[in-house]
Amino acid sequence: MLLNFWSKVGSRALFENKIKYYVNIPYLSSNLFNKILCTLDNFKRHKKTHENNPKQCMKTDKEYQSKFDIVSKINLKSQLHAAPFLKLPIHTLLQIYKTTKADEKNGLCENRLYYIASRLNCPPSMLSERVARRTFIYSLSFDWIENSLNVLLELGVTGDRIIRDLWVLKYQHTTIRNRLQKIKDQGIKRLYPWMVRCSEDVLHRYIELFQETKSILGDDKRTIEYIAKRLNTTEDVVEDMYSKVPGFETIRVTKVKSFIDFLIEEGYTVEDIISRPRVFAASQKTVKQRLDKLRELGMTQINLNVLCRSRKDFKRYCESIEASYRE
């Protein structure tokens, strides 16, 4: 047995030969060897906790040997492709084996890992870990997987987005088509798998935000162009503002518009806003509350930097003003 064999030999070469026999591969990379070794070490620690139960130890050793046997038969072409599957329980590996052999017999594919990788134009090594975590892929019919991928790709969902969200393949192709077509009909061109999975409320809110953004930017204008125009400056200046306040770049244009409108209505000039971009690090609600507080204290000329101080610093600032009045 593998675990007993590893405990008896100190030579990597001897142990490699034993693993190659079980996994049926000509070469064992250092990366995979270390993963296997780490897993076996975990089993060794588990065995120590069962020293008074030798039957349990034998069961653990036999289980891992069985995993090697099954994985070697599911048509994986590389040890790197196989490694993630060794983490799965035996009953799951048996399901994958059964599905793979049925696909192979019907001339559909060697393994669904390679089929999906070819459809998404990505290396199997990039996909194997994700597929091994989404084993439902081997419980659905091949037609289900094929039809879902066909619709996603036809409607313009890019391969990299599908790779990051393989859960979308769990949905029937008619459901995927109806949901994504509904979104496309609203003029939304960038489609994502999460749009299929989200609730109607979330989707409705996303469409609302998209339409609000489109009403501000039009079809082609970028957010940076809009900000530059509103502040009567150049895109380079806006880029500099982004560098000083990294979070500013990720704020939705609808919020940026509302914030700029608010600051101008409160009497600040575009020069004030450009020179003090830190104000965008605070929320509009917080800035409004602080303006009201300082005006209650009798201040009329209020620097934007004061409004975006930390809560503790702003409190001290207000206390210093109150103390000056008492004096």
pLDDT on residue 45 = 52
Domain count, the chain: 3
Over the stretch 251-304, which tens digit does the pLDDT of each residue have?
999 999 999 999 999 999 999 999 999 999 889 999 999 999 999 888 888 888
**Residue 18 and residue 68 in one domain:** yes
**Residue 102 and residue 48 in one domain:** yes
**Residue 130 and residue 145 in one domain:** no
Asked if the structure places residue 109 within a domain, the reply is yes
- Residue scoring higher pLDDT (312 or 49): 312
**Residue 81 and residue 193 in one domain:** no
CA distance 68 to 22: 6
Asked if the structure places residue 218 within a domain, the reply is no
- Residue scoring higher pLDDT (29 or 167): 167
Last residue of one domain, picked from the residues 183, 198, 213 = 198
Tell me which DSSP letter residue 78 carries.
Answer: S
Burial of 136: CB neighbours in 10 Å, binned 0-12, 13-18, 19+: exposed
Mean pLDDT, residues 142-152: 97
Residues 6+ apart with CB under 8 A from 82: 23, 25, 32, 71, 72, 76, 128
pLDDT on residue 156 = 94
pLDDT > 90 fraction of the chain, expressed in percent and rounded: 59
Over the stretch 234-265, which tens digit does the pLDDT of each residue have?
999 999 999 998 889 889 999 999 999 999 99
- CB count, 10 Å around CB of 314? 19
Residues 6+ apart with CB under 8 A from 45: none
CA distance 25 to 77: 8
**Residue 149 and residue 32 in one domain:** no
Over the stretch 193-236, which tens digit does the pLDDT of each residue have?
999 999 999 999 999 999 988 888 886 678 999 999 999 999 99
Helix, strand, coil percentages (3-state) for the chain, rounded to 5, are: 75, 0, 25
CA distance 269 to 41: 66
Asked if the structure places residue 165 within a domain, the reply is yes
CA distance 216 to 221: 9
Asked if the structure places residue 146 within a domain, the reply is yes
pLDDT on residue 4 = 46
**Contact, 157 vs 180, CB < 8 A?**
yes
Asked if the structure places residue 205 within a domain, the reply is no
* Single pTM value for the model: 0.67
Asked if the structure places residue 211 within a domain, the reply is no
**Residue 13 and residue 127 in one domain:** yes
Last residue of one domain, picked from the residues 105, 134, 163 = 134
**Residue 77 and residue 93 in one domain:** yes
- Residue scoring higher pLDDT (157 or 246): 157
Most confident of 55-64, 181-190, 212-221: 181-190
Q: Is the pLDDT of residue 84 over 80?
A: yes
Q: Is the pLDDT of residue 40 over 80?
A: no
**Contact, 74 vs 100, CB < 8 A?**
yes
Q: What is the mean pLDDT of the chain?
A: 84
**Residue 293 and residue 262 in one domain:** yes
Last residue of one domain, picked from the residues 108, 134, 160 = 134
**Residue 96 and residue 146 in one domain:** no
Mean pLDDT, residues 18-37: 53
Asked if the structure places residue 81 within a domain, the reply is yes
pLDDT on residue 64 = 75
Asked if the structure places residue 234 within a domain, the reply is yes
Mean pLDDT, residues 75-100: 93
**Residue 167 and residue 184 in one domain:** yes
**Residue 322 and residue 242 in one domain:** yes
Range of the domain at 105: 1-134
Q: What are phi and psi of 77, to 5 degrees?
A: -90, -10
pLDDT on residue 118 = 96
Instruction: Give the DSSP per-residue string, 221-272.
Output: --HHHHHHHHTTS-HHHHHHHHHHSGGGGGS-HHHHHHHHHHHHHTT--HHH
CA distance 179 to 196: 6
**Residue 161 and residue 118 in one domain:** no
